[in-house]
Every structure is written in structure tokens, then in C-alpha cells.
Amino acid sequence: MDFKIRPGFFGGKNWWVTMTLSVILIGTVGIAVILRLTKFSSVWFRQGAEAGEMSLTGKAIVAEEAEVAEAEVSYELLEGWNLVAFPFSPLTVKSAALLIEDVRQQGGTVSAVSRWDGDGWQEYVERGTERYGYDFAIEPGKAYFLRSHDYLQWRVVGVPPIKKEVLPIELRSGWQAIGIIQSPLTAGQVLSAINDGEERAVEIDWWRSGSWEVFVQRRYSVENAQEYGTNFTIEPTKGYMVKAMSEGWLRQFE
């Protein structure tokens, strides 16, 4: 995944720079490595400009302070259905229709965007000049199925969340489609964080190349906890289906 950062406006300049960068390690918070950005490619901050500070958590960007204005994230859309999530607040992709148009402008074709409403998938479809369904908003923390007709490296611009303001994800009994910002995590770590010694969530699934990859965690007693399936790694740009037995929360960066 590639990132581009616009740290802000310095001396009237709007600095867009690719994140081929030099960094100085200044500490860690939880599993997130905190880096102070000192150089982006061959572009240095002007003298007197403050370097932005953020967490690079695997493939996600989480701002430590409100200094990072925008980030650009690359998605690999495969032909067929892709389950994606947005680890920031998208700027150009604010609705299903705008998402389809943004992909079109970048040379690809997405004909359908689907979101989970708690009981099933709600779909917005475009076929030529015809439109079907409700043009719903695209939100961080939720997962969406995209029906792509091409392979495309799709770039989305958004505003990274400030770490201390990342809200917990509320889980209800049944299935939910979510995105997880914190990384690196495994499927097992996500379920363990939700369960916190109890059995609230039992399954997390990932859509991979046309089929579901399933991980199940069951607690039959205090001494008897079993895991089934592949304990895959969570990626912030991917969407996941989580099955909960009761209400609970997934708290990130704690």
C-alpha cells in the first residue's frame, strides 16, 4: 500500500509528497510505532515548520495530532467482489455513487456498492445511465462490497483519524460488517479484545478471492477455549464480517 501525505500549508505552499521517507523512532504506544517524520522523498519541511507526528500502524495511518491534513491510500480492486473498508474519512468518496464515479475517473468500473444493514446487504447499482437503490453514505469503520469489472490500483484521499478520538466499534447480536483501523492485529486478537474473557463474538470472516476465509473462537468453559480456521492478519483497508452472540465493543488503541 502506498501513502501520500499533505502535512499542511507552509509559507503558502501546499506540500504533496510521497511517503518514501526518512524517520526517527521516538517511542511506541501499544502496538503502534510512533515516528517523527523528518523527510518526505526529496522534499524537506521548510525551516521553522513543525514535522507532523503520527502512528504508522501496519498499513494504516493514525495522526497523533491534528497536523496531518490528508492521506492517500491505494486499494487493489480485483475483478469480481471486493470487501473493503476505509481507515479514514474519505474526501472524494462520500457516497456509493461518488465511489463509482471516482473509480471511473481512475480508469476502472464498479457497478455495485453494497453495505450491511444488520439483516442483509443493501445495494446501490449503476448500469450505464440506469440507477438502482439508495445512494448511501460511505463511512469509516464500516465494510462495503464493491463489484469491480476490472483490475485497478484505486487511490482514495481522506483525513486520518486522530488516535485519541478513534471511537470504539459497537457490536450487536448477529452479523456486522466492519473495518478495523488498528494494525497489526490477528483475527484471534480481535475476537479476544471483544470478548475480554467472556464469549461475546465467536467468528470473524474475510472475503478473499471469491470465497470466505473463516476464523472461529469458542469458549466452552474457563479452561476450554478452542480456535478453528486460519488466524489471518487484519488489514485496515479490508472489510470483515463479525458474528456476535451478544452486544459488545471493539476498543482500538487502548
**Whole-prediction pTM:** 0.74
Q: What is the mean pLDDT of residues 167-174?
A: 88
Q: What pLDDT does residue 253 have?
A: 65
Give mean pLDDT, residues 5-32. 36
Place of cell 486499494: 75
Query: Rounded mean pLDDT of the chain?
Result: 78
Average pLDDT of span 142-170: 89
| Residue 160 confidence (pLDDT) | 83
Supply the pLDDT for residue 186.
Answer: 95
> pLDDT value at position 8?
40
